[in-house]
Amino acid sequence: MENLLMAIDIGNSDIVIGIFEEATCQHIFRTPTSHQKTAVDYSMLIRSYLLEEGIKLAAIQQAVLSSVVPALTPTWLQVLSTLLHFPPVVVSPEIYPYLPIKPVNTKEIGADLVANATAAYTKYRKACLVVDFGTALTFTTVAQDGTLIGVAIAPGLKTALKSLVQNTAQLPEVPLVVPQTALGKDTVEALQAGILLGYTGLVKELIHQIHTELGEKCPVIATGGLSFVMQPIQHLFDEIDVQLTLKGLQLIGRTVVSYQ
């Protein structure tokens, strides 16, 4: 494999790394986000991952970095500089003029949401909505002309459940499984009913409200590690693509480099 692209998505819970050959993600690595690890630690992790997969560092010719954890961005710039000896494309307002989507609030929009919007709009080339089931549950709306017109944010499923468990003395941690009934017969079922069934209503209502404000129904793409958990509402999604953010980063990297 030659002329590979490395896409790095630094999130609040995990750092996800995708290795692309052309437009196909061949390998995905995931590690918990940690402020304690140094650039050397992360460099060793990447070297280990690549060695296990038989990927040579010299084959990586491009890199693109997205981060919603500003404190870790300098660390990862150092990692990539050391490993690859060339600067990555960093998803930031400086590169937005080159993209097919146009964020309205460039200073506040998350880099991961820009990547999601880029991937979705590049595929559909019309108004679309991305629902990302991550640490936060986000709804990113792109208009017909590619303008990223707005975002709605709620606590993610795990975030909501963790907050409830941590702040309540007698509640246990529970698996994220949709229960058969809203009438929980024990504490575990009660939590599953309140969070998971409650969130089905939240997602339905926000999709409905966004479509109403757009004045039309548009493709809805679900992504994020928990996107497959919500079986009762999977019919609301035109597709579920857990690689959407990485695919968006790949598109951003290739697009920006073509202008340079």
Q: Is residue 86 a part of any domain in this protein?
A: yes
Say whether both 12 and 120 belong to one domain.
no
Say whether both 84 and 114 belong to one domain.
no
Domain boundary residue among 68, 90, 112? 90
Say whether both 132 and 189 belong to one domain.
yes
Under the banding of pLDDT at 50, 70 and 90, the label for residue 208 is: very high
Question: How much is the mean pLDDT over the chain?
Answer: 90
Residue 107 has pLDDT above 80, yes or no: yes
pLDDT at 158: 82
Q: Is residue 252 a part of any domain in this protein?
A: no
pLDDT at 165: 67
> H/E/C letters for each residue in the chain?
CCCEEEEEEECCCEEEEEEEECCEEEEEEEEECCCCCCHHHHHHHHHHHHHHHCCCHHHEEEEEEEECCHHHHHHHHHHHHHHHCCCCEECCHHHHHHCCCEECCCCCCCHHHHHHHHHHHHHHCCCEEEEEECCEEEEEEECCCCEEEEEEEEECHHHHHHHHHHCCCCCCCCCCCCCCCCCCCCHHHHHHHHHHHHHHHHHHHHHHHHHHHHCCCCCEEEECCCCCCCHHHHHHCCEECCCHHHHHHHHHHHHHHHHC
Number of domains the chain contains: 2
Active-site annotation holds for 112 = yes
Q: Is residue 120 a part of any domain in this protein?
A: yes
Say whether both 85 and 105 belong to one domain.
no
Average pLDDT over residues 62-67: 96
Name the least confident of 6-15, 84-93, 195-204.
195-204
Say whether both 121 and 164 belong to one domain.
yes
Say whether both 59 and 130 belong to one domain.
no
Name the least confident of 51-60, 142-151, 225-234.
225-234
Say whether both 133 and 240 belong to one domain.
yes
Under the banding of pLDDT at 50, 70 and 90, the label for residue 148 is: very high
Say whether both 242 and 136 belong to one domain.
yes
pLDDT at 127: 97
Domain boundary residue among 24, 56, 90? 90
Say whether both 186 and 145 belong to one domain.
yes
Under the banding of pLDDT at 50, 70 and 90, the label for residue 124 is: very high
Q: 57 is in which domain, residue-wise?
A: 4-90
Q: Is residue 256 a part of any domain in this protein?
A: no
pLDDT at 171: 56
Say whether both 216 and 137 belong to one domain.
yes
Say whether both 204 and 81 belong to one domain.
no
Q: Is residue 24 a part of any domain in this protein?
A: yes
Q: Give me the catalytic one of 9, 112, 132, 241.
A: 112
Domain boundary residue among 61, 90, 119? 90
Q: Is residue 255 a part of any domain in this protein?
A: no
Say whether both 113 and 77 belong to one domain.
no
Under the banding of pLDDT at 50, 70 and 90, the label for residue 162 is: confident
- Tell me, what CATH number does 108's domain have? 3.30.420.40
pLDDT, one tens digit per residue, over 213-255 is 999 999 999 998 777 777 778 889 999 999 999 999 999 999 9
